[in-house]
Amino acid sequence: MSTRILLADDHKITRQGLRLLLDKQPDMEVAGEAQDGRTAVQLVEKLLPDVVIMDVSMPDLNGIEASRQITSRFPNVKIIALSMHSDTLFVAEMLRSGASGYLLKDCAFEELARAIRTVIAGKTYLSPAISGVVVDDYLHRLSKTEFSTARLLTNREREVLQLLAEGKSTKQIALKLHISPKTVETHRRQIMDKLNLHTIAELTKYAIRKGLTSLET
């Protein structure tokens, strides 16, 4: 069964070239073409392709917003960004919008074909040049946010957070830590303020994500 592909690019010559190459693949066929993001969204609804090859910079509706609309409405449709932009901003926004792959327009066609087969298999494909951008950006953000967030909490606050996440009441936490219930409440408010979280459910998710508890005990 062929993978049905929608081409979204505002340059007709690019679409025509890709169509010629893709249609030669035994397991692929081009189902349609869109010259802008808005048309791409409309054609996805009409044609239900398996993959959209999406340019990032397009008139009327850009590829980032078009990808966001498509993935929110059609989560089974895979999107591969094919762009001339290698900037962190473009890559990060496309991935946040739900794209499963990102390639640069100067890549060889064989890489695009490989990317299509990769995302159809449920994986993410990033060209080597883009992989470096993504890793660098992740490490940069990690050093600025994740590490600093962890340091926001004192040791006692981390203890209280874990116990809250594990479902312990204020009184139980007070007894376990040998502090007053009022002090526990103070810690809880400080934790919420520091992490900008507002409910016990949010605190629990945070604690699990940070490895403070697995809720298996």
The model's pLDDT over 152-203, given as tens digits with 9 standing for 90+, comes to: 788 788 789 888 988 889 999 999 899 999 999 999 999 999 988 888 888 8
Distance CA 123, CA 43 (A): 24
The per-residue pLDDT for 213 is: 66
pLDDT band at 217 (very low <50, low <70, confident <90, very high): very low
To the nearest whole number, what is the mean pLDDT of the chain? 87
Q: Is the pTM of this model over 0.75?
A: no
Distance CA 162, CA 208 (A): 9
- Ranges in the chain annotated CATH 1.10.10.10: 153-209
pLDDT tens digit sequence for 195-206: 888 888 888 888
> How many Cβ atoms are within 10 Å of 27's Cβ, its own excluded?
11
Residues 6+ apart with CB under 8 A from 202: none
- Ranges in the chain annotated CATH 3.40.50.2300: 3-136
- Domain 3-136 -> CATH class: alpha beta
Whether residue 49 is predicted with pLDDT greater than 70 in this model: the reply is: yes
The per-residue pLDDT for 65 is: 87
Q: What fold is seen in the domain 153-209? A: Arc Repressor Mutant, subunit A (1.10.10)
The per-residue pLDDT for 23 is: 94
Distance CA 36, CA 55 (A): 9
Q: Are the C-beta atoms of 206 and 195 separated by less than 8 Å? A: yes
Distance CA 51, CA 46 (A): 14
pLDDT band at 59 (very low <50, low <70, confident <90, very high): confident
